[in-house]
Amino acid sequence: MRYAVLGTGEVGRTLGGRLVELGHEVRLGSRTPDNPAAAQWAAAAGAGAQAGTFAQAAAFGEVVVNAVGGRVALAALEAAGAENLDGKVLVDVSNPLAIEEGELRLSPVGSDSVGEQIQRAFPQARVVKTLNTVNCRVMVDPALVPGEHQVFVCGEEAGAKEQVVALLGEFGWPARRVLDLGGIREARAVEMWLPLWIGLMRNFGHAEFNLELRRAR
Amino acid sequence: MRYAVLGTGEVGRTLGGRLVELGHEVRLGSRTPDNPAAAQWAAAAGAGAQAGTFAQAAAFGEVVVNAVGGRVALAALEAAGAENLDGKVLVDVSNPLAIEEGELRLSPVGSDSVGEQIQRAFPQARVVKTLNTVNCRVMVDPALVPGEHQVFVCGEEAGAKEQVVALLGEFGWPARRVLDLGGIREARAVEMWLPLWIGLMRNFGHAEFNLELRRAR
């Protein structure tokens, strides 16, 4: 499969690298055509890895992964171009975190989410929110963390979610550990997990953890 | 120990009932002195159980538990009276949920929390946020749910948190399963867990679940 991964930060490079290892072709997209991090990534990731602009990457991908920060997701996707997103599965792994008044905060929060913003702005894209609840090393290697811990999907279209569940399976998340929360509105819920995730990271001293839901029945 | 439990809903009655079973004296507080739910609870809970107004309950308790909804917590605590809260451990288990625009939403959210509101309004109270992340049946009987699932505490004062950790131990939460997130500001993080909790409740079809943090190390 051909993947566009938008974002050359740790999340984008990690997801893109793992997709290449899995045998996919990946074009890592950035704002500029000559991004050094993207070029270095493409050289190191080997055959199947290319770098380009957001638009070049999105045009290339059969599936588009949004791995830029949640606060700049709409700008990156505008640059990618609606015509390069229409009809495609758009996997959003971002969180809208930023420093405000000296504190790390989410925005939007509560009555909106990045997942919903993206779906509204690109109504022809098949947006699925997933993986934003774990660190990127855990995203692509869930066995780093012991236990039957889980990830979530939400989105408007069952077919797109099925395709994402299959991708998660390639990363090592069996379908039984992928919980479908419903429509894209539930992106609010998974994005609002982040403040607790950050508190736990501080408590544990590292980011390699996840939650396992335990149930009476 | 003498406990005030403010709130005659399911959360207050469940917490109050378990405290009586554990041998404590409990006064369940409500807005009015003749609340039928409170009177019925006191009659059924047996020796050690009384009903009263918020102020009567808070005056009685050595520890005060806020078990009214998060949106009305400040009003209930104002009625309880600052003079009846000063210097006492105030356990806040509430969540600020309400229907807005036809949707269940948190308010405050993101840049404030009920835990912080209470601590600001009653600076002499020793506020500890805890247990708001689970259903009230799980609060007082964690063995309902299998596994090493956890609860959280946060608050400004270590001594108050220690006292709450001991109370959680009486409910069946061993200290190793109580994670201290830090100061009362972290109430934001645990309150923002609620939207995901609600999505999971809908997915599972019941409220008897909890999260177990799994860690690489």
Q: What pLDDT score does B211 carry?
A: 98
**Helix (H) or strand (E) segment spanning residue B2:** strand B2-6
Measuring CA to CA, how many Å separate A29 from each of A48, A61, A97, A122, B175? 14, 10, 21, 18, 47
Q: What pLDDT score does B104 carry?
A: 87
d(CA B26, CA B50): 6
**A215·B196 Cβ contact <8 A:** no
Write out chain A residues lying below 8 Å of B106, CB-based.
110
d(CA A196, CA A210): 11
Of A77, A135, A134, A69, nearest to A97 by C-alpha is A69
How many of the other CB atoms lie within 10 Å of CB of B72? 18
Write out chain A residues lying below 8 Å of B214, CB-based.
145-147, 149, 209-212
Q: What pLDDT score does B124 carry?
A: 98
Question: What parts of chain A have a pLDDT lower than 50?
Answer: none
pLDDT digits (tens, 9 = 90+) for B6-24: 999 999 999 999 999 999 9
CATH number of the domain that residue A53 is part of = 3.40.50.720
d(CA A153, CA A216): 22
Residue type, B66: N
Instruction: Tell me, yes or no, whether B209 lies in a domain.
Output: no
Q: What pLDDT score does B170 carry?
A: 98
B211 touches chain A (CB under 8 A): yes
Q: Which of A100, A199, A215 sits opposite B189 (nearest CB)?
A: A199
Residue type, B212: E
Q: What pLDDT score does B36 carry?
A: 94
Instruction: Tell me, yes or no, whether B214 lies in a domain.
Output: no
Structure tokens given for A152: 């979530």
**A186·B203 Cβ contact <8 A:** no
**Helix (H) or strand (E) segment spanning residue A129:** strand A126-130
Instruction: Tell me, yes or no, whether A180 lies in a domain.
Output: yes
- B122, B90 in Cβ contact below 8 A? yes
Q: Which of B181, B186, B216 sits opposite A144 (nearest CB)?
A: B216
Please count the residues of chain A.
217
Residues 6+ apart with CB under 8 A from B171: B18, B139, B140, B141, B142
Q: Which of A106, A109, A186 sits opposite B199 (nearest CB)?
A: A186
| Helix residue ranges, H only, B81-206 | 114-121, 136-140, 158-171, 187-191, 194-204
Residue type, A19: L
Q: What pLDDT score does B99 carry?
A: 86
- Domain interval for residue B75: 2-204
Residues 6+ apart with CB under 8 A from A99: A105
Distance from chain centroid for Cα B198:
18
Measuring CA to CA, how many Å separate B55 from each of A43, A132, B63? 70, 45, 13
Through-space distance between the first and last CA atoms of chain B, rounded to whole angstroms: 38
- For B69, how many CA atoms within 13 A lie in the half-sphere containing its CB? 11
Instruction: Tell me, yes or no, whether B149 lies in a domain.
Output: yes
Instruction: Tell me, yes or no, whether A216 lies in a domain.
Output: no
Is residue B55 exposed (0-12), middle (13-18) or buried (19+ Cβ within 10 Å)? middle
Instruction: Tell me, yes or no, whether A210 lies in a domain.
Output: no
What does residue B196 show for φ and ψ, rounded to 5 degrees? -70, -40
d(CA B64, CA B86): 10
**A192·B192 Cβ contact <8 A:** yes
pTM above 0.90, yes or no: yes
d(CA A26, CA A167): 14
CA distance A189 to chain B (A): 5
CA distance A188 to chain B (A): 7
Q: What pLDDT score does A10 carry?
A: 97
Q: Which of A199, A200, A214 sits opposite B212 (nearest CB)?
A: A214
Instruction: Tell me, yes or no, whether A138 lies in a domain.
Output: yes
Domain count across chain B:
1
Measuring CA to CA, how many Å separate A194 from each of A91, A97, A132? 18, 8, 8
Of B149, B28, B160, B157, nearest to A147 by C-alpha is B149
Q: What pLDDT score does B174 carry?
A: 98
Distance from chain centroid for Cα B133:
10
Question: What parts of chain B have a pLDDT lower than 70?
Answer: none
Instruction: Tell me, yes or no, whether A102 lies in a domain.
Output: yes
Structure tokens given for B38: 């409170």
**Helix (H) or strand (E) segment spanning residue A85:** none
